[in-house]
Structure formats: structure tokens, C-alpha cells
Amino acid sequence: MQLRPEFVKNVRKLSNRPLLTPGPLRTLSFIALRQPISQSHVVRVRGKLAYQHVKQLKEMDLISYDKLGRTRVLRTTITFADYFNLNHDPALMKKELKNVLDLTNQPQSEKAQESATPEQS
């Protein structure tokens, strides 16, 4: 498939654009790992911008909420699970996320030591 030259610049901008910026993505990961969680707790940990993040995530149908007094209880949705290819059950989803995060958060020094350490027989 080829594009007309005048459209290439615009299409390239769209193809490289991430789904979420780092702030809302961190808020989403915090909610996913600790769901169900109150919005007030998310705001205490993530800061005042979390209100806008929650609004954006709700509009994208990545989270849902239920009113509980003056706060909301936040949860991820099936859309979130499908987009990130995770289990729909929240307990299993948390385990999958923790496994993925443990693999990617291994410090570089440990990775270097594992590859540099020769096996002795």
C-alpha cells in the first residue's frame, strides 16, 4: 500500500502517537495493580492531576467507577484487559501484571551480572 506524498507527513504523525502519555499511563497502571481502589487514594498517591487522568481513562473506556459516598471506586474494564491482552478476572490480571512488571523491572546490574558470570562445573 502506498500513500500520496502529501499525506505521508500526517500519517506518520498518527502512526507514532502512543495511546497514552506517561502520566495517565502511570495512573492506569496504579489503578490496575490495586483495583478496586478509591479515587481519593489515587489522588493522594498520584497528585491532583489524577482527576484529569481518571476523566481521560474513563472517556477511553479503560476504567469504570462506582460512587461510594463522596469518592469513586475505580476498576479497569474489559476494554483495558482486551487492549493489553490480559485476563478479564481482576485477581488473575493482577498476577499477570506483576509477572510482567517483575521481568521488565529487573535492575540492569543484575542482568549484567547474570550474563557476565560464567557457569562453573
pLDDT digits (tens, 9 = 90+) for 43-86: 999 999 999 999 999 999 999 999 988 889 999 999 998 888 88
Residue 20, pLDDT > 80, answer yes
- Asked if 43 and 70 touch (Cβ cutoff 8 Å), the reply is no
Residue 115, pLDDT > 70, answer no
Distances (CA, A) of 61 to 26, 33, 99, 105: 16, 17, 24, 27
Q: In terms of CATH architecture, what is 18-102?
A: Orthogonal Bundle (1.10)
Q: Where are the domains of the chain?
A: 18-102
